[in-house]
Structure 1
Amino acid sequence: MAKLFTPYQLKNLNLKNRIVMPPMCQYAVETGDGMPGEWHNVHYISRAVGGTGLIIAEMTAIHPDGRITNEDTGIWDDHFIPAWRHIVDEVHRYGTQIGIQLGHAGRKAEDANPPVAPSAVRYDGEGYKEPHALTTAEVEQLIQAYGEAARRAVEAGFDTVEIHGAHGYLIHQFHSPLVNQREDEYGKDLPLFGERVVQAVRAAVPADMAVIMRVSAREYVEGGYEVEDIIETCRRYRDAGVDLLHVSSGGEGPARKGAMQVGPGYQVNMASQLRDALQIPVIAVGLLDEFADAERVLEEDQADLVAVGRAMLRDPYWAIHAAKELGDEAPVPQPYLRGYHK
């Protein structure tokens, strides 16, 4: 059996295979109110039909001003629970588990007026506004908002929650010395905000629910941190209650020339480094489009799970096709079986 198709268990997570669909913003909320709709139903449920082991729904805002754009999903109020519950229930029908990524875009919130950030440092990109520097009281309100969002995720039936601490969004902004220039305790101790978010989320979910955190293991900008620097930050997150790290990179600004060498599996070594240093399970991600590349990550014991993003946008049945290619029994739904007979 290909390792991609071996089961995986971590706390309450009991996955039928090691294939993860990572969070990918759809920018598909036509009403502008943050409510997931028909597009999201089809998008997520079709990947469950396609055999994915774990789906993590797109970055979903814990505050209206935390959306990247007004076309993004939200979970800042209880009225979002029924729509998310419908998606969760339908995904479960096909034997797939599902989580939701809780996030706040911070200074990268394009439609917020103004966006907020640890400090009044504008993101270096066309069209971005100068952010409002959060007061200490506002920081603590956002920590509480993460906890409330996690509570709603539990009520909607999600199997896990992922905290977004990567790609230049709010938690990343706090633990990045390039952005966090505060003078209060959240500036003197850069991981403190993320640590307290983890604690708030951990307190809001059942003890046996796995909590995932996505981190950028490396920044590619001048003066940005490296993997060795983020290890101690992730140690704090682990000790606060994170069970699984989802390891990506970048996002804090345009990469300096030659710093970012993109190719199949280009972030896997970073995931492996964090796994070894912290003795924590990891999800590896980064252009693992080819079945053999994804399988190799597991065969070489570099990660516990493999996330397939863009390839799964192109092919909702990536998991079925991987099983066919790798010689495993493919999880083809009964209504589609005749499409796979020679």
Structure 2
Amino acid sequence: MRSMPILTPWHRDMKDNVKSRVKEQVAGRTGASWEDRLQEQKAKKVQVMKSIEKEQKELIKAATEKGIEKQQVYSPLLTLRSAPNLSAEKQAQRLEERKQDMSEKVRSYAMQRREILEKMRTREPLFRIEDVSTAKALLAEGRRKKQEELQNEEKKRWEHLEECAMKGVQKRDALYDLHNSPSFDERLAKAVERKKQELKELEKIQKERIRDAIEVGHQKSTSVSPLLGVLRNPPDNAERTREILEERQRVMASVAREYFRKRDDMLQRQQNRTPLFSCEAVEDAQLQLEEQARKRKKEMQAEQMKQRQHIQELQNKALARPLMMEARLNVI
């Protein structure tokens, strides 16, 4: 059995240094982490809440002072304190009036109390036995339906979680393929090789077509040529035949010169033609492809992060809601 390696302080320092540099590189490319952004937003929110709390305390203090001032100015006890003292006769008269008012209120209260007690003794019950049994049946039916809805919802959520997981795997495979795709030079070499093969096949087909056209032309010249009858039945006039032959030779020479002139022009154009792809265009295309690959990579990373957050939210929701056992035991 192989023994475990001994970690020296130098190894630990190197490991911490590598971790810190990796974190710095990742933070420089992808930005601050979710925890750092959360702490930053938390600090900002705390500062805002402190300022709001300070303003609210100042508003409460100002309102308290204003209320005390209004109490001292508009208090109803101020008139009583400033009013002159009543005589003994007036006080006795008002006391008698208060006693009569209190006795009337006591009698009225006693009558109302007797009426309320009589109504309570003779009132109809709020819930009869039949209504209670019906309500129990309705509650049991509602509980059963709610349990079925919870089961269906749980099934749908698990299916959604599996679908999100499959999408995440597909996105990860696509991102892996994007990272491991061949370079621009390799794809360009493959495209050039494929184009050469296509041009060779096209050249072969054109050569065969030219050979077939030449053979057909020879066949037609031998079968439909106007000289065929002359060759079969040569005329007696040798001078006329010689003139016709010279005329044909001059025409053939002019046609040959025109053919060679057109061929030289075509070869000259081929030698002096501008290339389909210049070096600048190839470099620009390569830069554009690299930029598109970087953008695509960032988009796929953002999409993968969204999918992970969505899956995490769905898992948290699935864990936060009541389980099937709690629904069966009516634990809510």
Quick check: TM above 0.5?
A: no
Structure of greater Rg: 2
In the superposition, the TM-score normalised over structure 1's length comes to 0.14
Larger helix fraction of residues: 2
Larger strand fraction of residues: 1
In the superposition, the TM-score normalised over structure 2's length comes to 0.14
Which has the higher relative contact order, 1 or 2, with Cα contacts under 8 A spaced 6 or more apart? 2
